[in-house]
Amino acid sequence: MKKGMQQFSRSAIIPIKFMAVMGLFLAFAVLMQLEFMPTFVQSTGAMIKSMMDAMMNNLSIIFCVAIASSMAKKNKLEAGVLAVIVFLMFLAANNAWLSSQHMLAKEGAVGLYGTGQNLVLGFQVVDMNVFLGMLLGILTAFIHNKFGEKKFIDVFSIYGGPRLAFIVMIPVTLALAISLCYVWPVINKGINSTSNFILGAGAIGVFLYGFGNRFLIPTGLHHLLWMPFCFTAIGGTATIAGKVYTGAVNIFYAEMANVGSITSLDPSIRFAFFGFSKIFACIPIALAIIHMANKNRQDEIKGMVLPGAFVGTVAGITEPLDFAYLFAAPQLWFLHSVLAGLSEALLWQFGIRTFVKDGVIDTTVSNAVFSPSLTKVHWFIIFGLVMSAVWYFSFVFLIKKLDLKTPGREDIPDLAVAGVGAADVNTMQPTVAMSSNNGSKFDTLVEGLGGRENIETLNNCFTRLRIDVLDQEKINQEKIKLFPGQKGVIIDKNNVQVVMGMGVQTIREEMAEELGME
């Protein structure tokens, strides 16, 4: 189950990466439409806004295609096409059943809001929002993987492979479209109850949410916590300019697009505070690690942690820094998670409403379109600087008190015996990794994974290579750690995660090409 959840989370990340770009351009579009801008600039801004709205209003089908094609083991293009077909078939079948059973809701003063139904690509269907795309994407991938490679004799060969998966999906989609007319309203009530409970928990709920988002990062399951709050009704529902939006991020982007009519930011923004620790904790943590390193190794440690701290602060990608100390000093990771949750709870209690999902770039652009009286961004900065000091001194105290072996404080007797100094470790890694039979830069990593024949799947998320192997006994963690650029290795039975940083997608593509994998 955990493997399946990790596979789903890394698949769902794909459209979210594109949404980060959408948010930036939406903010630019709003700024371009300010009154003092030339008419041509305002018109261009309006067109860009319409383009971004088109994506935001159709996230369901985007998630459906992304999840299906990513989770497909082979023939990913066919899986993506099948996902589009399945999505359209569901809409048609669901609408037809609602119509035939006289279950279509009538529009009220605010359209279909509150009726449990919505218009999706022109079809009036049960209102599942992004959940529909996720469900159909997972189901399509499952059927595609199970039937997509079945072959028939020549005369029937056209009906084999991905077409057989399509044939199977027709009755499955029909049954799902009918059953969800009755099942989803019940599920929706449960979602609303859960959402109301979390929203009603106030600062305690925000603390637990913030703590969990940070603490779960080593498992790769943190996406499963924040994604529902950011993109589904669990994070809240709001009507803006006559349209209904669900999820903290979707609601904020809708407010951004209609900034002229917004007098206060929706309470769901409390679930979009988790970038606070990215901006205000990375540099203090790096400085604390450097300060507590042995004097003769501080320059080396600066080169190790400062680049990761910079990337975390500016872009919101913290794994390169996280994995520098996470396994060596898990007590610090627990403290970091507590401080992250506490910070977000205090932001909420102090009435600060700054949208801070990622790093400095995203935060600056996203909040620039709103008046500081709405976001309280000035108090956000002051509070952030105070918490930066708390992070720094807390880390320094705990490292000293517990004598934690953070980078620069490790005992390295094996290296000393071998006659290799600590400063030589990084410089020797590329040489070791490149010494292989065919000269491929991935040889050391492949050998550490038990050889090409032991690698079942090869994927990546924001910062990690994620590899499933057939035989976990063949994994050699020490050899994997010799791969140049890796910043940490997590092994969970047959799943291996290698932390690489923001360039991981290029690494995965090059490695897949060399290994002959999709």
121 & 242 share domain? no
Classify residue 15: in a domain, yes or no.
Answer: no
In angstroms, the Cα distances linking 502 to 308, 310, 444, 457 are 10, 12, 21, 20
Stretch among 113-117, 179-183, 298-302, 399-403 having the lowest mean pLDDT? 113-117
**Tokens 């300019």 -> residue:** 241
pLDDT of residue 110: 56
CA-based end-to-end distance of the chain: 24
Classify residue 121: in a domain, yes or no.
Answer: yes
69 & 170 share domain? yes
- Listed ranges 36-50, 195-209, 305-319; the one with the highest mean pLDDT: 36-50
Run of H or E including 457: strand 455-460
pLDDT of residue 413: 42
pLDDT tens, residue by residue, 323-377: 778 877 889 999 999 999 999 999 999 999 999 988 888 899 889 889 999 999 9
pLDDT of residue 345: 95
225 & 298 share domain? yes
Q: Domain with 494 in it: what CATH number?
A: 3.30.1360.60
pLDDT of residue 411: 59
Tell me 476's DSSP state. Answer: -
pLDDT of residue 329: 85
Q: Which residue among 200, 225, 245 closes a domain?
A: 200
CA dist 79 and 11 (Å) reads 13
Whether 135 has a pLDDT exceeding 60, the answer reads: yes
pLDDT tens, residue by residue, 75-100: 899 999 999 999 999 999 999 999 99
pLDDT of residue 424: 38
Classify residue 2: in a domain, yes or no.
Answer: no
Give the mean model confidence (pLDDT) for residues 284-312: 88
pLDDT of residue 138: 93
Whether 426 has a pLDDT exceeding 70, the answer reads: no
pLDDT tens, residue by residue, 114-127: 678 888 999 999 98
Q: What is the domain count for the chain?
A: 3
345 & 447 share domain? no
- Domain around 460: 422-515
Confidence grade of residue 277 (pLDDT, cut at 50, 70, 90): very high
CA dist 361 and 363 (Å) reads 6
Run of H or E including 178: helix 162-200
pLDDT of residue 439: 58
pLDDT of residue 303: 82
Q: Which residue among 173, 200, 227 closes a domain?
A: 200
pLDDT tens, residue by residue, 51-61: 988 887 888 99
**Tokens 């192997």 -> residue:** 469
149 & 183 share domain? yes
CA dist 260 and 245 (Å) reads 17
66 & 178 share domain? yes
Stretch among 107-111, 329-333, 438-442 having the lowest mean pLDDT? 107-111
Classify residue 417: in a domain, yes or no.
Answer: no
Confidence grade of residue 109 (pLDDT, cut at 50, 70, 90): low
Give the mean model confidence (pLDDT) for residues 268-280: 93
Whether 435 has a pLDDT exceeding 60, the answer reads: no
3-state secondary structure 198-246: HHHCHHHHHHHHHHHHHHCHHHCCCHHHHHHHHHCHHHCEEEECCEEEE
160 & 74 share domain? yes
Confidence grade of residue 430 (pLDDT, cut at 50, 70, 90): very low
pLDDT of residue 380: 96
In angstroms, the Cα distances linking 89 to 98, 123, 146, 173, 460 are 14, 11, 20, 7, 31
439 & 290 share domain? no
Q: Which residue among 200, 215, 240 closes a domain?
A: 200
In angstroms, the Cα distances linking 64 to 59, 73, 249 are 8, 16, 19
286 & 160 share domain? no
Whether 279 has a pLDDT exceeding 90, the answer reads: yes
Q: What one-letter code names the amino acid at 360?
A: V
Classify residue 504: in a domain, yes or no.
Answer: yes
Whether 419 has a pLDDT exceeding 50, the answer reads: no
CA dist 13 and 451 (Å) reads 28
CA dist 15 and 366 (Å) reads 19
CA dist 257 and 386 (Å) reads 32
pLDDT of residue 434: 38
Confidence grade of residue 185 (pLDDT, cut at 50, 70, 90): confident
pLDDT of residue 392: 97
Task: Write out the catalytic residue numbers.
Answer: 461
Classify residue 28: in a domain, yes or no.
Answer: no
268 & 300 share domain? yes
Classify residue 369: in a domain, yes or no.
Answer: yes
DSSP string, 285-332: HHHHHHHHS-GGGHHHHHHHHHHHHHHHHHH---HHHHHHHTTT-HHH
pTM above 0.75, yes or no: no
110 & 82 share domain? yes
pLDDT of residue 90: 97
pLDDT of residue 49: 84
Confidence grade of residue 418 (pLDDT, cut at 50, 70, 90): very low
pLDDT of residue 457: 84
Classify residue 3: in a domain, yes or no.
Answer: no
242 & 334 share domain? yes
